Amino acid sequence: MAGILSVARTNLAQRRQKLRRQRQIKVIQAIWRTVAVTGMASALLWVAIQPMWVLKDSQQIVIKSGAKIEPTQKDIYSLLGLSSPQSLWRIEPSVIADSLKKQPNIAEATVSRRLFPPGLIIEIQERVPVAIAQIRKKQPATSCTDAPSAPGKSADVKPCVQNNSAANKQSELGLLDASGIWMPMAKYMSMNPQRELPQMMVIGSPTQYRPFWTQLYEAIRQSSLKVTEIDFQDPTNLILRTELGIVHLGSPSNKLPEQIQVLERMRHLGTQFNPSHMDYIDLKNPAMPLVQLNQKKPALEIKKSTQPNTKPILNH
Q: What is the DSSP string of 198-243?
A: PS-EEES-HHHHHHHHHHHHHHHHHSS--EEEEE-SSTT--EEEET
As beta bridge partners, residue 63 has 122
One domain for residues 186 and 118: no
One domain for residues 226 and 307: yes
Q: Are 280 and 294 in contact (CB under 8 A)?
A: no
Number of folded domains in the chain?
2
Count CB atoms within 10 A of the CB of residue 105.
Answer: 21
Q: What is the DSSP string of 155-181?
A: TT---EEE-GGG-EEEEEEEEEETT--
Report how far residue 288's alpha carbon sits from residue 282's, in angstroms, rounded to the nearest whole number: 9
Domain that holds residue 233: 129-147+157-315
Residue 290 lies in a domain: yes
Count CB atoms within 10 A of the CB of residue 22.
Answer: 10
Residue 28 lies in a domain: no
Residue 185 lies in a domain: yes
Judged by DSSP in three states, 98 sits in: helix
Written as tens digits, the pLDDT of the chain (316 aa) is 555 656 577 777 788 888 888 888 888 888 988 888 888 888 777 666 666 678 887 788 888 887 655 666 677 777 777 777 788 888 889 988 998 888 888 889 999 988 888 888 999 888 899 999 998 766 554 445 554 554 554 445 445 545 544 344 577 899 999 999 999 998 888 877 788 899 999 999 998 899 999 999 999 999 999 999 999 999 999 999 999 899 999 999 999 999 999 999 988 877 776 777 888 999 999 999 988 888 655 555 555 443 333 334 344 3
Residue 25 lies in a domain: no
One domain for residues 141 and 163: yes
Q: Kindly report the CATH number assigned to the domain that includes residue 63.
A: 3.10.20.310
What is the separation, in whole angstroms, between the first and last Cα of the chain?
A: 138
pTM over 0.75: no
Residue 43 lies in a domain: no
One domain for residues 140 and 287: yes
Q: Are 230 and 186 in contact (CB under 8 A)?
A: no
One domain for residues 84 and 166: no
One domain for residues 191 and 135: yes
Residue 243 lies in a domain: yes
Residue 17 lies in a domain: no
Q: State CA 78 to chain mean position distance.
A: 18
Residue 130 per-residue DSSP state: E
One domain for residues 174 and 219: yes
One domain for residues 232 and 85: no
One domain for residues 97 and 140: no
Q: Are 228 and 242 in contact (CB under 8 A)?
A: yes
Residue 36 lies in a domain: no
Burial of residue 266 (number of CB atoms within 10 Å: 0-12, 13-18, 19+): buried
